[in-house]
Amino acid sequence: MKTFGLNIIASDKEFYRGRGINIILPARDGEFSIMAHHADMMISVVPGEMRFQTEDEQWHMAVVGNGFAQIINNRVTVLADSIEKPENIDVKRAQEAMERAQEQLRQKQSMQEYYISKASMARAMARMKANKKHEI
């Protein structure tokens, strides 16, 4: 199988570095799949579920926050503010974060505060959804 260089980095750690066969990223208008020798481009990544297949043909899943992916010369670099494995998600903390974000959205806010609250809520929802899928 054809592979590409794959580097996945969160704001606080390197999540994965190696060879990949496929990566599926959450984007504004749906999911975006990248395979070997994809055209060079930049992709905006939104909070959601990221899946990637390593050269041993095993699929891995993670919850990714806001960020972007860069595809250049058969190398993919994903940079995001947060990346977590579903088994590492604290569901209670995610639920509390979603409740805080919902409460903030009910209050009068500046536009900047509104977008921050919306992003917090999207991240919390993605974390809870991925954890629920992982439990099944």
Q: What distance in Å separates the CA atoms of residue 42 and residue 90, rounded to the nearest whole number?
A: 31
- Residues 76 and 4: beta-carbon distance below 8 Å: yes
Q: Are strands 67-72 and 41-45 parallel, antiparallel or unpaired?
A: antiparallel
Confidence of residue 132 (pLDDT cuts 50, 70, 90): low
- Residues 25 and 49: beta-carbon distance below 8 Å: no
Question: Per-residue pLDDT tens for 65-99?
Answer: 899 999 999 999 999 998 988 777 676 777 787 77
Q: What distance in Å separates the CA atoms of residue 53 and residue 60, rounded to the nearest whole number?
A: 6
